[in-house]
């Protein structure tokens, strides 16, 4: 177990929903995860009930002041810690984009915090491949790619896989990858076809578990509750439990 970065350049595919509920599931299992919100939109922070965080207390301070991650971490649920985001993170590209060493700032900070092995770290990415997302990828041992079951998302996986290949070669590292269909609409035949095509095109890395499109998964962040607290007997909760089991069984979680 190490650092899992939840990444897809496509917006609205379920990155935050997946990070949020996986982190919650790990916390419930006593694994004391740390969730890092790497998106200026701060949706993960919001879903965890944390809002209007000043830059000096968010991930931004790591870049701006080199504040250690331990000082930016807060307890949000029993057993779950969060490094929150703030809107200031949207300035990172223009402020630090030309600094060649900047892409390793987060990985170094995670190592300094002693989080490389335990506890598990989950990083939620923004849909843009900028300085922040590169930091999240440079810190990752594992990359989880959530996607919707539609044609454009399928095409997107080819591009993501190619981008990760390039990054692996340039940085001499390996990313263990998993793809999960995080917005599976069982009412559409297309969903199953896309899922089958994904499995055929990317053998061995597509999760068997699909997260169904359900109302409770859409509603739970509004109540600042993970799916296990909000609707423990819902399909969404069952799907996330299965996903955790599957990812644990292959050593990804
Ligand atoms: N399985 C699901 N069922 C129902 N709604 C979902 C599901 N997954 C995600 N959603 C909803 O879809 C929207 C987008 O999801 P989410 O914010 O997790 O995506 P994202 O990839 O993090 O988006 P962004 O790229 O903007 O960061 C949210 O309103 C979320 O509640
Ligand atoms: Mg998001």
State the Rg of the chain over Cα: 17
Q: What is the dihedral of CA 174, 197, 18, 216, to 10 degrees?
A: -170
What is the domain partition of the chain in residue ranges? 3-249
pLDDT at 153: 87
| Pocket test residue of 9, 16, 123 for ligand 1, highest count of atoms within 8 A of CB | 16
Q: 47 CA to middle of ligand 1, Å?
A: 11
In this structure, what DSSP letter does residue 109 have? H
Per-residue pLDDT tens, the chain, 253 aa: give them.
589 999 999 999 999 999 999 999 999 999 999 999 999 999 999 999 999 999 999 999 999 999 999 999 999 999 999 999 999 999 999 999 888 889 999 999 999 999 977 779 999 999 998 999 999 999 999 999 999 988 888 889 999 999 999 989 988 888 999 999 999 998 988 999 999 999 999 999 999 999 999 999 999 999 999 999 999 999 999 999 999 999 999 999 9
Decide: pTM greater than 0.95.
Answer: yes
In this structure, what DSSP letter does residue 126 have? P
pLDDT at 171: 85
At 66, phi and psi to the nearest 5?
A: 55, 35
Residue 40 to residues 35, 49, 160, 196: CA-CA distances in angstroms? Answer: 15, 16, 21, 34
Return the residue whose CA atom lies nearest to atom 15 of ligand 1.
14
pLDDT at 97: 86
Return the residue whose CA atom lies nearest to atom 3 of ligand 1.
213
Q: 84 CA to middle of ligand 1, Å?
A: 18
pLDDT at 172: 85
**How far is it, in rounded angstroms, from Cα 160 to Cα 8?**
7
pLDDT at 119: 76
Ligand sitting nearest the alpha carbon of 7: 1
**How far is it, in rounded angstroms, from Cα 221 to Cα 83?**
17
CATH number of 3-249: 3.40.50.300
**How far is it, in rounded angstroms, from Cα 194 to Cα 192?**
5
pLDDT at 173: 85
Q: Checking DSSP bridges between strand 74-77 and strand 34-38, what pairing results, if any?
A: unpaired
Residue 178 Cβ contacting ligand 1 at under 6 Å:
no
């Amino acid at each position: 177990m190490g650092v899992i970065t939840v990444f897809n350049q496509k917006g609205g595919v379920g990155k935050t929903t997946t990070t949020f509920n996986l982190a919650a599931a790990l916390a419930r299992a006593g694994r004391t995860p740390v969730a890092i919100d790497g998106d200026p939109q701060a949706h993960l922070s919001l879903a965890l009930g944390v809002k209007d965080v000043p830059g000096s207390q968010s991930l931004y301070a790591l870049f701006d002041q080199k504040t250690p991650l331990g000082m930016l971490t807060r307890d949000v649920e029993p057993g779950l810690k969060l490094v929150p985001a703030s809107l200031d993170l949207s300035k990172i590209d223009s402020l630090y984009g030309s600094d060649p060493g900047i892409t390793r700032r987060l990985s170094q900070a995670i190592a300094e915090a002693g989080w490389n092995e335990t506890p598990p770290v989950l990083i939620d990415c923004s849909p843009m491949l900028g300085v922040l997302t590169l930091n999240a990828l440079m810190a990752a041992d594992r990359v989880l790619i959530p996607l919707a079951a539609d044609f454009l998302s399928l095409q997107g996986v080819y591009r993501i896989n190619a981008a990760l290949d390039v990054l692996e070669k340039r940085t001499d590292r390996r990313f263990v990858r998993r793809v999960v269909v995080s917005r599976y609409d069982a009412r559409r035949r297309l969903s199953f076809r896309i899922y089958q095509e994904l499995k055929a095109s990317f053998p061995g890395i597509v999760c068997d578990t699909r997260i169904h499109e359900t109302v409770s998964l859409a509603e739970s962040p509004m109540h600042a509750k993970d799916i296990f607290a909000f609707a423990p007997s819902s399909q969404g909760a069952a799907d996330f439990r299965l996903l955790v089991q599957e990812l644990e069984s292959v050593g990804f979680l």
